Amino acid sequence: MGWRLNLRPYLLIVPALLLTCGILYPFGLGLYYTLFDFSASKPQPDMVRFENYETVFTQEAFWNSAWVTVLYAVGAAAVETVLGVAVALLLHRSTIVGRVLEKILILPLMIAPVIAAIIWKLMLQPSVGVINYLLRPFGLGGVQWTDTPTGALLSSIAVDVWVYTPFVAILALAGLRSLPTSPFEAAAVDGAGWWYTFRRLTLPMLWPYVLVAVIFRFMDSLKVFDIIYALTEGGPGDSTVVLQIRAYLEAIRFQRYSFGISYTIVLWAVVYLAAMVLVKHLGKIQRKAAEVPAK
């Protein structure tokens, strides 16, 4: 009987251990491959140590992709946060319209991002797309949405915002509904205005929830592939070639496997560091928010 009790802790960690190995094995193998010059034209490669990383960092294409990736991630996460919180505040007033909108709001999240991008590609089409058709009465019917570098990036961000703002809104709404009511009642008794209450009470207490959404959206946006590839294929020129697309082109299209994986490892490091900073920040904010008296 005693040995069973002694064994139990080890058995309990087995699923977690298997899961960890399942994650670490491919990751480790990928990392290992980056030390070689493995490609279709060189199936029996030589060890090149860190040469792939050196090449990545000395390529102008990498820095262009890194810049585009950051612009995209910051732009998408920022807009989604502001819009998501705004939508949550509107829906928090429990009217019938609010409850109906709440159900509709979740629809974009049910559509695969690549499908959403294709739908938007059709809607943004300059001559037959519905967006230009709607803009025509205002004299703006000829916009070539994805034909310019700025337009292509902004259009991609807009699609991301359309798909993922509901995610932020739902998290923010859940946060709003869990806030204590007494501070708001006290503020109302003291005659505090909406803006003051929002700035001094709602936002500080809601911030941990918002930051969780920001962390998820920022990390996801750094890893974007489907939306941009379906909408612009990375063009025009290299204007929307984010790191994931560059990695895909290198590893799959051009069959430089090691080099392509090096791109993904660099991207992983960036996402990991960004997540660490944000999570650390989240901890601080959560502790600060906890100082607000609970209901």
* Binding to other proteins, residues 223-242 (CB under 8 A): 232-238
Q: Give the x/- contact pattern for other proteins in 33-72, rule: CB under 8 A.
A: x--x-x-xx-xxx---------------x-----------
Stretch that binds other proteins, among 29-37, 176-184, 214-222, 269-277 (CB under 8 A): 29-37
Query: Any contact of residue 255 with other proteins (CB under 8 A)?
Result: yes
* Binding to other proteins, residues 95-154 (CB under 8 A): 121, 124-127, 142, 144-149, 152
> Do residues 119 and 204 make contact, with C-beta atoms less than 8 angstroms apart?
no
> Do residues 223 and 3 make contact, with C-beta atoms less than 8 angstroms apart?
no
The whole-angstrom separation of Cα 8 and Cα 211 is: 38
b/e per residue 114-125 (b: at least 16 CB within 10 A): eebbbebbebbb
Secondary structure (3-state) at 47: strand
Q: Other C-beta atoms within 10 Å of 238: how many?
A: 15
Query: If phi over 0 gives left and psi between -120 and 50 gives alpha, with beta otherwise, what is residue 267?
Result: alpha
Query: Any contact of residue 21 with other proteins (CB under 8 A)?
Result: yes
Query: Any contact of residue 32 with other proteins (CB under 8 A)?
Result: yes
The whole-angstrom separation of Cα 35 and Cα 207 is: 42
CB of 237: closest distance to other proteins in angstroms? 4
Choice between 25 and 196, CB closer to other proteins: 25
CB of 135: closest distance to other proteins in angstroms? 14
The whole-angstrom separation of Cα 245 and Cα 255 is: 14
Q: How many residues bind other proteins (CB under 8 A)?
A: 44
Where does this chain bind other proteins (CB under 8 A)? 6, 9-10, 17, 21, 24-25, 28-29, 32-33, 36, 38, 40-41, 43-45, 61, 121, 124-127, 142, 144-149, 152, 232-238, 249, 252-255
